[in-house]
Amino acid sequence: MDIAKTYNPREAEGKWYPYWTEKNFFKSTPDHRKAYTIVIPPPNVTGVLHMGHMLNNTIQDVLIRRARMLGFNACWVPGTDHASIATEAKVVKLLADQGIKKADLSREEFLKHAWVWKEKYGGIILEQLKYLGASCDWSRTRFTMEPALSDAVIDVFIDLYNKKQIYRGVRMVNWDPQGLTAVSDEEVIHKETNSKLVYVKYKIENSDEYITVATTRPETIMGDTAVCVNPHDERYTKLKGKNIIVPVVNRVVPIIFDEYVDATFGTGALKVTPAHDINDFNLGQKYKLPVIDALTQDGKISEAAGAYVGMDRFACRKQIIKDLQEQGLVEKIEEIKNKVGYSERTDAVIEPRLSMQWFLKMEDISKPALEAVLNNDVKLIPEKFINTYKHWMENVHDWCISRQLWWGQQIPAWYDDKGNTVVCKTKEEAVKLLKTDNVKQDEDVLDTWFSSWLWPLTVFDPDIIKKGWANANEDLKYYYPTNDLVTAPEILFFWVARMIIAGKEYTGQKPFNNVYLTGIVRDKLGRKMSKQLGNSPDPLELITKYGADGVRVGMLLCSPAGNDLMFDESYCEQGRNFANKVWNAFRLIKGFEVGTNVSQPEASKTAIEWFGNRLSEQLEIINDHYSKYRMSDALMTTYKLVWDDFCAWYLEIIKPDFIDGKAQPIDKTTYDATIIYLESLLKIMHPWMPFITEEIWHLIKERAEMDCIIVAEWPAVNTQNKEALIAFEVVKEIVSKVKNIRQQKNISPKEKLEVKEKSTIGGQFSRFDSVTIKLANLSSYSYTKEKVDGAFSFMVLTAEFFVPLTGNINVDEEKERLAKELEYNKGFLKSVQIKLSNQKFVANAKPEIIEVERKKESDALNKIRSIEEQLASL
């Protein structure tokens, strides 16, 4: 069989992904096995693959592939989220490019355009995940707005409304003037912004005096309906019962007194604008102040403002400052930094706005979800996020679940012309309940999260809300609760908490056992990757350049749970180099000529014993890392086991010698053992590197069509001979010391040396001598009870080793080198002894620290004695 000189990732990826799909290796249906289930965090239907997706989905695929190999019925459910705000924005832009305004379309016409867009572009990201190797059960692909899942969302709304958990009312909400919709607190990103703090003078009615008020939002002055001061602030006590005149509009409003105002902050006077700030709104309610909405929905100055009508809010801000300055009403302007809320979806500056919205009461419904995490029923990994979760859930506000959009599940509330409201599924039901044909459905849709909070339930059984847990279908009973959820900390409350709430509400159970929280992918300068900064590589280009396996390894080499990943393309290069290392090791092994009558060398026999133990030891560590979700650690341990232990040590020992420029045959026993080890290593590597492992698996020998590594059994951990492991560490140390002597003395690696061991334990690991002889290229390895004159020496554990001088050594140079080394060690010993003679240090230091210092002293004394003996022998 011809094996290519270099590994071709594109060829392997193009071969094996279609093969796995064709043979249904990803497909899962309930059977006798235990289920292992992951539901994908559904990416936005508008999305294309970015580095965050790469990290998240690689981790999921590693977990699902390993579970499959462990014998679980592994099911990874894919799908996409309809993403109301993002998708509507995409469709509106697409229509605008065609000269069509949303306002000129009916709801039905707009939704036709939206569905056409979704069908054309909506599946891109799922197709891209296939290039990564994602082993999802594609036959189970779901979409949060498909009819069955949308029905479930409507069922939940009706159910919670009937339970009096959902209500409608005018509240102050976060308004996105670009998206033209309310957004939840969690969808507001607070950014530090450079702002102007403008000190504006408000004239006291019937007086020449002024009150100065500081504001960063002078464009809302037209909505002021009071100025508030603290009743204990002596500066303003004389103003009780007085009014002030609002600049620009000359509106006469009262001065009110309330302890809400901090007298020590700013001027101690607060402009009260009930329509544009939640705290001002609360003051307005308390003192029955009128509400004047100075802004339109799209962030322009409103008719009600009475001035600057139709001007953009930020343009108005600049103009009003200029006009106030010209009127002498600006006392001063300070440049400050403050936190400003931005819409997560559109990046528009959020406006607090009074609006009629639908809300879900959160106080009671959220309690079981808080308990689930606090009692460790749902584990957050890493645990540091428990406190964040606890803080959010203990301070939860009612959830604004309505959105002023057309793309999404339309709220099933119906109104007659008298203002009566019913909540039901169909217009026919509404007509019966309202006893009139003149009914109209609420125009708003539900928040996207109100559909995705049902995701772990409805992907398996969309009718669960109507039927209840007792009547759940076979899929849900088998796969739910799911095992692991892999997601980002920033949606811990948005999505994770709400899924737990929904799971507890409708099944009495948690939706998943573990939540693995990834970090944010940043560049090597620590900046979050973004299109704006141009620091985010195209994942598909990385896959083309380094291969899917190389990118998967590169992403996870530096990805500790919950901590940000400082990504550098060099990691992908390291991943590709690892794949090449594995390929070259395989080519080396397959290139061995297996001899029929070749006896097994003692070194090979010993190497097989050692590597079997080493493999089991490291596999046990790898399994432990997996159990604790230390993904990077599991990968790094795998990496070192293959690169260092197998390639650098094991293969070097068993590799046949070259005689007269020709490789000698290898014995069959060693070859067979090596193939078995290679197969075990390929299995351990498979979750991380699915393509190259499947390729090599089939190149090792002819296999049946279903005999694929994707379903091969995960290796078992065997009992280890600890003595063999310790012995080999000693061998490594000896070999390294001999190599160092060769380098220091410029002795050719081909020149054979001899080693003599002087040990009080005498030949404890003598069966490994043949390995040492081969790896260190020795002519002999023997034991002595006396020190050897005229030899280099070194220590390993308690044994001393001697390498007799060869004729190539310059004695004078060696004396000079040893003299310098002796001087250094004597200086080091002196510094340690000074520390140990310091009574204050000895009295206050921890015992283990003193022990470390005494060990340093002992080691230095032994080293000095050894150097002095070497000098004497020279």
Lowest mean pLDDT among 66-80, 169-183, 294-308: 169-183
In this prediction, residue 873 has a pLDDT band, given cuts at 50, 70 and 90, of: low
* Other CB atoms within 10 A of residue 672 CB: 13
Distance between CA atoms of residues 309 and 458, nearest Å: 48
**Residue at token pair 């400003």:** 340
3-state SS record for 224-287: CCEEEECCCCCCCHHHCCCEEEECCCCEEEEEEECCCCCCCCCCCEEEECCCCCHHHHHHHHHH
Structure confidence by residue, pLDDT tens digits, 432-477:
999 999 999 999 999 999 999 999 999 999 999 999 999 999 999 9
DSSP 755-776: EEEE-SS-STTGGGHHHHHHHH
pLDDT of residue 354 exceeding 80, the answer is yes
Please state the rounded mean pLDDT for residues 643-661.
92
In this prediction, residue 761 has a pLDDT band, given cuts at 50, 70 and 90, of: low
**Residue at token pair 């908490």:** 497
Please state the rounded mean pLDDT for residues 837-862.
87
Lowest mean pLDDT among 386-390, 476-480, 561-565: 561-565
DSSP 324-369: HHHTT-EEEEEEEEEEEEEETTT-PBPEEEEEEEEEE--TTTTHHH
**In contact, 667 and 600? CB cutoff 8 Å:** yes
pLDDT higher at 864 or 712: 712
Please state the rounded mean pLDDT for residues 130-154.
97
**In contact, 421 and 375? CB cutoff 8 Å:** no
Structure confidence by residue, pLDDT tens digits, 495-535:
999 999 999 999 999 999 999 999 888 888 888 887 667 78
Please state the rounded mean pLDDT for residues 475-485.
98
Structure confidence by residue, pLDDT tens digits, 376-408:
999 999 999 999 999 999 999 899 999 999 999
C-alpha distances in Å from residue 469, one per residue of 371, 596, 675? 21, 65, 50
- DSSP 8-state symbol, 295: B
pLDDT of residue 609 exceeding 90, the answer is yes
Q: What is the pLDDT of residue 869?
A: 73
Q: What is the pLDDT of residue 813?
A: 76
- DSSP 8-state symbol, 715: P
pLDDT of residue 416 exceeding 70, the answer is yes
Q: What is the pLDDT of residue 531?
A: 65
pLDDT of residue 560 exceeding 80, the answer is no
Quickly count helices (H) and strands (E) in the chain.
Answer: 29, 33
In this prediction, residue 183 has a pLDDT band, given cuts at 50, 70 and 90, of: confident
Please state the rounded mean pLDDT for residues 687-705.
97
Please state the rounded mean pLDDT for residues 60-88.
96
Q: What is the pLDDT of residue 524?
A: 83
- DSSP 8-state symbol, 786: S
Distance between CA atoms of residues 473 and 395, nearest Å: 36
pLDDT of residue 763 exceeding 70, the answer is no
Structure confidence by residue, pLDDT tens digits, 799-820:
889 998 766 566 777 788 888 8
pLDDT of residue 47 exceeding 90, the answer is no
Lowest mean pLDDT among 506-515, 664-673, 688-697, 832-841: 832-841
Distance between CA atoms of residues 530 and 521, nearest Å: 10
pLDDT of residue 725 exceeding 90, the answer is yes
**In contact, 383 and 426? CB cutoff 8 Å:** no
**In contact, 369 and 495? CB cutoff 8 Å:** no
Question: Around 163, how many Cα atoms within 13 Å sit in the side-chain half-sphere?
Answer: 14
In this prediction, residue 14 has a pLDDT band, given cuts at 50, 70 and 90, of: very high
Summary mean pLDDT of the chain: 92
Instruction: Work out whether the CA dihedral 459, 465, 470, 473 comes out positive or negative.
Output: negative
Q: What is the pLDDT of residue 310?
A: 96
pLDDT of residue 344 exceeding 90, the answer is no
Lowest mean pLDDT among 5-19, 250-264, 786-800: 786-800
pLDDT of residue 874 exceeding 90, the answer is no
Rg, C-alpha atoms of the chain: 37
Q: What is the pLDDT of residue 132?
A: 96
C-alpha distances in Å from residue 807, one per residue of 804, 818, 866? 10, 18, 22
Instruction: Work out whether the CA dihedral 462, 466, 469, 473 comes out positive or negative.
Output: negative
Q: What is the pLDDT of residue 806?
A: 63
Q: What is the pLDDT of residue 808?
A: 58
- DSSP 8-state symbol, 437: S
Distance between CA atoms of residues 542 and 547, nearest Å: 7
pLDDT of residue 660 exceeding 90, the answer is no
Q: What is the pLDDT of residue 187?
A: 81
Q: What is the pLDDT of residue 785?
A: 86
Please state the rounded mean pLDDT for residues 733-762.
85
Q: What is the pLDDT of residue 851?
A: 87
3-state SS record for 508-535: CCCCEEEEEECCCEECCCCCECCCCCCC
Please state the rounded mean pLDDT for residues 170-190.
86
**Backbone angles phi and psi of 371, in degrees to 5:** -60, -40
In this prediction, residue 294 has a pLDDT band, given cuts at 50, 70 and 90, of: very high
Q: What is the pLDDT of residue 758?
A: 87
Structure confidence by residue, pLDDT tens digits, 253-291:
999 999 999 998 889 999 999 999 989 999 999 999 999
End-to-end CA, the chain: 57
pLDDT of residue 579 exceeding 70, the answer is yes
Q: What is the pLDDT of residue 809?
A: 65
pLDDT of residue 628 exceeding 90, the answer is yes
Lowest mean pLDDT among 731-740, 801-810, 830-839: 801-810
Q: What is the pLDDT of residue 658?
A: 83
pTM for the model stands at 0.84
